[in-house]
C-alpha cells in the first residue's frame, strides 16, 4: 500500500519511528512533513495528508501531533476523510472495520512508541467489513454533503 504520513514539531521523533516501521512492513510511505523540530502549524500537515488520501494518491494516512486531535480535526475538514484519533489498538482495528477510517491519528505526547506501532499495525492490517457499516458511513457522507 501507499501510506501518507504527516506530523507537527511535537511528533517529529515518533514520526521517524513509525515511518520506518511502516516501510519495514513493505509499504511505500510518502512523508508530507514537517521535517524539522521547528515550531509549525499542524493544520498544514493534516490537510496535506488528507488531500493525498482523499485524492487517491495514497491508500491510507497517518497523522501525529502532540495529542493527535488538532491534526485530525484539520484532516476531517477535507471531503471524504474519516480521520480517527486512537490511543490503543482495539479502537484502531474497529475504526477500520466499522468506520472505514482512512486516516489514523495519535498523540506523541500521549502514547509511547510500542503503543503507536500496535495502533498502526491494527489500522493497516484490518479490512473494512462493509455490510451494515457501509450504510452508516453513507449517512456520515450525507451530513458532509449538506455542508
Show which residues are catalytic.
Answer: 65, 98
CB of 115 to ligand RB5, least distance (A): 17
CB of 38 to ligand RB5, least distance (A): 12
Contact residues toward ligand RB5 (CB under 6 A) are 8, 10, 42, 65-67, 69-70
- For cell 451494515, the residue is 132
Closest to ligand RB5 by CB, 29 vs 75, is 75
Which string of DSSP letters, residue by residue, matches 22-80?
HHHTT-EEEE----SSS---HHHHHHHHHHHHHTTSSSEEEEEESSSHHHHHHHTTSTT
Q: How far apart are CA 19 and CA 6, in angstroms?
A: 10
Closest to ligand RB5 by CB, 115 vs 126, is 115
CB of 109 to ligand RB5, least distance (A): 7
Amino acid at each position: 500500500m501507499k501510506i501518507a504520513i504527516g506530523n507537527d514539531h511535537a511528533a517529529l521523533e515518533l514520526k521517524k519511528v513509525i515511518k520506518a516501521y511502516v516501510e519495514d512492513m513493505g509499504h511505500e510511505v510518502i512523508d508530507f512533513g514537517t521535517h524539522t523540530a521547528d515550531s509549525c502549524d499542524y493544520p498544514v500537515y493534516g490537510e496535506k495528508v488528507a488531500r493525498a488520501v482523499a485524492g487517491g494518491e495514497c491508500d491510507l494516512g497517518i497523522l501525529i501531533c502532540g495529542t493527535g486531535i488538532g491534526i485530525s480535526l484539520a484532516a476531517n475538514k477535507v471531503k471524504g476523510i474519516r480521520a480517527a484519533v486512537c490511543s490503543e489498538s482495539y479502537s484502531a482495528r474497529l475504526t477500520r472495520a466499522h468506520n472505514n477510517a482512512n486516516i489514523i491519528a495519535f498523540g506523541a505526547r500521549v502514547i509511547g512508541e510500542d503503543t503507536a506501532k500496535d495502533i498502526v499495525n491494527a489500522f493497516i492490517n484490518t479490512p473494512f467489513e462493509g455490510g451494515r457499516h457501509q450504510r452508516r458511513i453513507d449517512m456520515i457522507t450525507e451530513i458532509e454533503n449538506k455542508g
